[in-house]
Amino acid sequence: MKTKNTILWALSFTLVSCMEDVTTIYEQPEPEILLVEIPKEEPKANDVPPSPEMVYEWLGHMQGSNGLVESAEYTDFVSLYDNALAALTFIAEGDLLGAERILDYFDNKLETEFYANSGGFFQFRDTSGEQGSRIWMGDNAWLLLAVNHYHDKSQSNRYENLAYELESWLRSLQEEDGGLKGGINEDGTLIPKVTEGNITAFNAVPGFDDFHRKILMFLGEQRWDVNDKVLITDTQNPAYNHALDLYSLGYMILEDFPEEVLTKANRFYNSQNSTSNEKLISGYCFDDDKDVVWLEGTAQMAMAFKKADQEGNAQNVLLNLEEAFIPSTSNSSTAGLPYTTNFGTNFGANELWDHTDITPTISSSAWYLFVKNEFNPFDLGRDKDIPEESKFWTNSGIN
């Protein structure tokens, strides 16, 4: 039976970046509803073999003529985060042309979008590049990270101005407490400081100076659980103090971060039956409710295990990911990973978007390819020679 995929523009940022504090989720304006037709036959993953080549071919198939990559099939939805991930995937595969098509798009938007917004690219837009909405700091940091990798791989400074503008804007967001403002919602309200966005910006802005030191001061004073020794969100609801990506990304980004955090991430570990093939798949949820296996976040954990040289754990996670492949309905020779194995809630209590569990998505597929290629996007900006006194995670902390 023909169904419709409902995309909620203000809430569907969970499609592309569920790495935000729950306060951000609950403070969105009433979203615009966009209806997109999907095929009559929904995809099944019964006989899809684990093949990185098929996943990479699918990701390339999702790139449009303007260079932008659609976040998932049949959505007419584009995110800055997913395009940064796609650019990084192309770079990791040695396809600099594919990455340039994405980076050229944003480079050409500096005048009409970045400067017009007084800094920052839109987080969301449609596949034509129109209907831009919401300026989120974290996704702009991911774009800078992609530009940095391009320059490193190509040994050129092709996007020197783009990198300069992104870095300058990120630095301008820093407040007296050291934290970076999150950006601006569609209705003009400010996005609160988000832990994940701050550690991403810490990595993306090269070097170590007062900017980085102040971010660490902010995190140590306001986003560090001294008892559990983990990074936390900023929420009035204690049920959502802990987020999976703060465990995995915190370990990958911050030098000498305690490896025990990867074991502590077991609090999010659960098993769910895949909607597409009914196989029991184990992995990690966004938060403590453990109602879904979040495949993007699970792939991030696999990368963190590789960073820690826990190869056995990384391979176990990969085996579960490869049980969740879904064939493309728009290109039968390709496949990808859905966002989650089953339908449920994202970080917080809001439900995920319709068909989150039965269509391939860029974020999960890109992170899977990162793991298979042993390409850690944080490695380039990780070695910052952080002074010992700034490493709150090795000290008692303040919070």
pLDDT digits (tens, 9 = 90+) for 364-389: 999 999 999 999 999 999 999 999 99
Mean pLDDT of 201-223: 98
CA distance 325 to 281: 11
Task: Report if residue 394 sits inside a domain.
Answer: no
CA distance 81 to 87: 10
Residue type, 315: Q
329-357 confidence digits (pLDDT tens): 888 889 999 999 999 999 988 899 888 99
Determine what percent of the chain is predicted with pLDDT higher than 90: 80
Task: Report if residue 37 sits inside a domain.
Answer: yes
Give the Cα-Cα-Cα angle 146, 295, 365 (nearest 5 degrees). 45
120-154 confidence digits (pLDDT tens): 999 999 999 999 999 999 999 999 999 999 999 99
CATH number at residue 200: 1.50.10.20
Mean pLDDT of 183-210: 96
What is the domain extent for residue 305? 4-375
Task: Report if residue 395 sits inside a domain.
Answer: no
Task: Report if residue 380 sits inside a domain.
Answer: no
Backbone angles phi, psi at 184, to 5 degrees: -130, 130
Determine what percent of the chain is predicted with pLDDT higher than 70: 87
Task: Report if residue 385 sits inside a domain.
Answer: no
Task: Report if residue 168 sits inside a domain.
Answer: yes
Who's near 396: CB < 8 A, 6+ residues apart? 226
- Average of per-residue pLDDT values in the chain: 89
CA distance 196 to 75: 26
pTM reported for the whole predicted model: 0.90
Mean pLDDT of 80-108: 98
Task: Report if residue 382 sits inside a domain.
Answer: no
Task: Report if residue 273 sits inside a domain.
Answer: yes
CA distance 286 to 205: 26
**Domain count along the chain:** 1
